[in-house]
C-alpha cells in the first residue's frame, strides 16, 4: 500500500513537472513574440503594471486623464477616467500619472511598473533635478509626483509606443468627453472591452 502511495505521489509530481514545462514553453514563446512585435505585456510576478494616458482638446483646453492597473496575469485591478478644464497636453499626461500612482498606493501595491506613451512626461522624472525645476509650467504636478515616487515603494516609469497603450488612451478619451467626472472603474467598462481583448491576445 505504501508502494502504491509512493507511485501515486511520483505520478502527481511528474504531471506537475510536465505542466510546468508546457507553461514555461508558452511563456517563452510569448516573450519572443513580445520582443519581435510591439505588444502590451504583463509584468513579472509579483509586480503590477499601470498604464496611463492624457487627452487634450485644443479648441476648449479640456483635458482627459485615464489609466488601468493590471497584474502579472493581465487581470484587471482597477481603472480610472477623469475630465477637467483649462490645461494642455503635457499637464493631462502628468495628471494621469499622478492619479494612477495614487490609486496604486492606496490599493496597497508596492512594486509598480508604469508605462506612458508621452516621452515628455517620462523624461521629466528621468532627468536630474536642478535649481530651476520650479520654473517649469507644471511644477505643481511634477513636485507632487516626485513626492509620491519618493515613498517606500518601487516604481519604474517608462515610455512605450502609443499603439500598445490603447486601453489607457480610450479611458482618457472618455474623461475628456465627460468633463467634471472622476470615475474609478472597479471592473472594465463595456467601451474598453475591445482594447482589453487585443491586449489579452499578447
Strand order in the sheet with 182-185: 154-159, 111-116, 48-57, 62-71, 76-84, 182-185
Residue 96: pLDDT above 60? yes
Q: What is the dihedral of CA 195, 171, 183, 199, to 10 degrees?
A: 30
Residue 119: pLDDT above 50? yes
Surface-to-core class of residue 169, CB atoms within 10 Å of its CB (0-12 exposed, 13-18 middle, 19+ buried): buried
pLDDT band at 27 (very low <50, low <70, confident <90, very high): low
Surface-to-core class of residue 134, CB atoms within 10 Å of its CB (0-12 exposed, 13-18 middle, 19+ buried): exposed
CA-to-CA dists, residue 26 to 18, 49, 50, 144, 202, angstroms:
12, 21, 24, 41, 11
Asked if the peptide bond before residue 46 counts as cis, ω within 30 degrees of 0, the response is yes
Residue 68: pLDDT above 90? yes
pLDDT digits (tens, 9 = 90+) for 144-185: 999 999 999 999 999 999 999 999 999 999 999 999 899 999
**Which residues are CB-contacts of 34 (< 8 A; sequence separation ≥ 6)?**
41, 202
Please count the CA atoms within 13 angstroms of the CA of 191 that sit on its side-chain side. Answer: 11
The confidence score (pLDDT) of residue 2 equals 47
Amino acid at each position: 500500500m505504501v508502494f502504491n502511495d509512493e507511485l501515486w505521489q511520483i505520478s502527481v509530481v511528474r504531471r506537475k513537472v510536465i505542466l510546468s514545462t508546457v507553461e514555461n514553453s508558452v511563456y517563452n514563446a510569448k516573450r519572443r513574440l513580445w520582443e519581435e512585435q510591439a505588444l502590451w505585456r504583463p509584468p513579472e510576478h509579483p509586480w503590477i503594471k499601470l498604464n496611463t494616458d492624457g487627452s487634450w482638446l485644443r479648441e476648449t483646453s479640456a483635458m482627459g486623464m485615464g489609466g488601468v492597473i493590471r497584474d502579472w496575469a493581465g487581470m484587471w485591478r482597477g481603472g480610472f477616467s477623469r475630465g477637467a478644464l483649462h490645461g494642455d497636453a503635457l499637464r493631462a499626461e502628468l495628471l494621469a500619472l499622478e492619479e494612477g500612482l495614487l490609486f496604486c498606493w492606496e490599493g496597497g501595491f508596492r512594486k509598480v511598473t508604469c508605462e506612458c506613451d508621452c516621452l515628455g512626461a517620462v523624461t521629466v522624472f528621468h532627468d536630474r533635478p536642478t535649481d530651476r525645476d520650479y520654473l517649469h509650467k507644471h511644477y505643481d504636478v511634477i513636485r507632487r509626483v516626485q513626492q509620491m515616487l519618493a515613498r517606500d515603494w518601487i516604481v519604474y516609469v517608462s515610455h512605450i509606443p502609443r499603439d500598445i497603450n490603447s486601453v489607457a488612451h480610450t479611458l482618457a478619451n472618455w474623461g475628456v468627453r465627460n468633463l467634471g467626472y472622476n470615475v474609478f472603474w472597479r471592473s472594465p467598462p463595456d467601451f474598453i472591452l475591445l482594447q482589453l481583448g487585443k491586449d489579452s491576445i499578447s
